Amino acid sequence: MTETMNEATTDPTCIFCRIAAGSIPATVVARNHQAMAFRDLNPQAPSHILVIPLRHVDSLASADNPCEVGGALALAAEVAEAEGLGEGGYRVVTNIGRDGGQTVQHLHFHVLGGRQLHWPPG
Ligand code: AMP
């Protein structure tokens, strides 16, 4: 299991790698050795947090480390609880590729809550 970030697992052209490295500012709400959580710049709900692996992974489709993915999802649930979303509920979603609506090519889970979310999404 990869536990540290190194040059080989960081893409200097990736905005989320740069947030993970601290070279681009973000409102960080949680961090552990494998993943971090920060507020989305363009929130779509009262609580909208992104959870990313520190290591560069393009998307869930190319994720090769189940522990890393599971760790990020566990952090998503922790962050949702800390936001007070546990009782009302919330959504965790990841977009993959063009048709999935992915705009940043670094695996991230959106944690959305604080309002009634609709289904199916657009
Ligand atoms: P997606 O469209 O699923 O790839 O989601 C990318 C998300 O990243 C969008 O919700 C953007 O608002 C968000 N985003 C892009 N740049 C930043 C940034 N510098 N800080 C925080 N959120 C960002």
Length of the chain: 122
Say if ligand 1 is within 6 A of residue 102 CB.
Answer: yes
CATH topology for 15-113?
Answer: HIT family, subunit A (3.30.428)
Q: Which two tokens stand for residue 69?
A: 């993915």
Biggest alpha carbon distance in the chain?
A: 41
Mutate to test the pocket of ligand 1, among 18, 49, 103 (most ligand atoms within 8 A of CB): 103
Instruction: Label residue 8 by pLDDT band (50, 70, 90).
Output: low
Which residues participate in catalysis according to the annotation? 108
pLDDT tens column, 28-75: 999 999 999 999 999 999 999 999 999 999 999 999 999 999 999 999
Residue ranges per structural domain of the chain: 15-113
